[in-house]
Every structure is written in C-alpha cells, then in structure tokens.
Amino acid sequence: MLAGLVGGETLLSGQHTGQLYRRLMANDFAGLQRLITAFFASIPHDWYRNNPIARYEGYYASVFYSHFAALGLDIRLEDATNKGRIDMAVLFNGQVYLFEFKVVELVPEGKALQQLRDRAYADKYRARGEPIHLIGVELSRESRSVVGFEVDSVGARSGERHG
C-alpha cells in the first residue's frame, strides 16, 4: 500500500517523501544526502531569527524524524544499547539504518560515524541477519545544513564493509 501511495507522491511531505522512499529502497546514499540537504534548505530563514534552535542536535534529529515518520517506517529514537544511545534507528525493507547526528561549527569532523563504530551500535541488530548501514550526519550551526554525510554498510552474512 505504501508503494502505491508513494507512486503518486502525494504524501505529507509531497515530492520529498516519495523521493525518500525511493532512495531508501535503492540504498542510494548519495541521493539520500542530496535530499536531506534539500530538506534543510527548504526551511525558511525567518524560523531561525532570534532563535538558538540551530545549535541543538535535537532540532536536526527532529527534522530527520518527521520525514522518515511520514513514511510510516519502524523508527526508534534514542535507541538504548549497552554502550549508549543510537540517535535514530530505522528498520525498513529487510535492512537496518542507524543514524548518528552531530552539530559542528563549519566543517565535518567525522565524529558521527566514528561514534557509531566506536560504540558498536550495530551489535544490537546483528542477530537479525540483515544489512546494517551506519550513517553519520554532521550539521553546521553556521550554514544550518548537512556538511558531513558518511555511510559504512555491513553485509548481512559476510561481514563486508562498504563506504
């Protein structure tokens, strides 16, 4: 049913939601990065005026969440593990997507993906036998946009790493 709804691209977020669905189905991470950058570029500048919201990781995570939630996906926020909390886990199409968000000043620092690796967040989902995609997203306080987007995919059976 979801695929039928997406075909017409008439869901909550319109065209972006349909594109998000297609990017996830294809594991098109470069396209996903472009789309997410477009999400943030579409937020009016006036919403930031006299408002410190762009300083907070929770703001950016909420924007991500709202777009993924519009698809009706299985989303787990602040997903607790034995070594910390995954900012956002998405279970979709027989795959697991683990997101970590970090707010930086201007340039990417690589800390989001590194945290996913260092804290072995994927371990919680390995028993599912599904591909797991670690996605580190860094967002700039200055530009209020995505400045870093790294993906490390772990194969379901072989333990292969891609990214």
The CATH number of residue 29's host domain is 3.40.1350
Please state the rounded mean pLDDT for residues 108-134.
94
Beta partners for residue 84, in sequence order = 81
The SS3 of residue 104 is strand
Residue with tokens 């969440």: 65
Which range marks the domain in which residue 85 is found?
A: 2-162
Please give the Cα distance from 34 to 39 (Å, whole number).
9
pLDDT digit string (tens) for 68-120? 898 899 999 999 999 999 999 999 999 999 999 998 876 678 899 999 999 99
The structure tokens listed for 51 are 């408002």
Q: How many domains does the chain divide into?
A: 1
Percentage, residues of the chain above pLDDT 90 = 47
Please state the rounded mean pLDDT for residues 122-145.
92
Per-residue model confidence (pLDDT) at position 63: 82
The mean pLDDT of the chain is: 81
Please give the Cα distance from 110 to 128 (Å, whole number).
27
Please give the Cα distance from 71 to 35 (Å, whole number).
15
pLDDT digit string (tens) for 41-81? 777 666 656 666 656 677 778 888 888 898 899 999 999 99
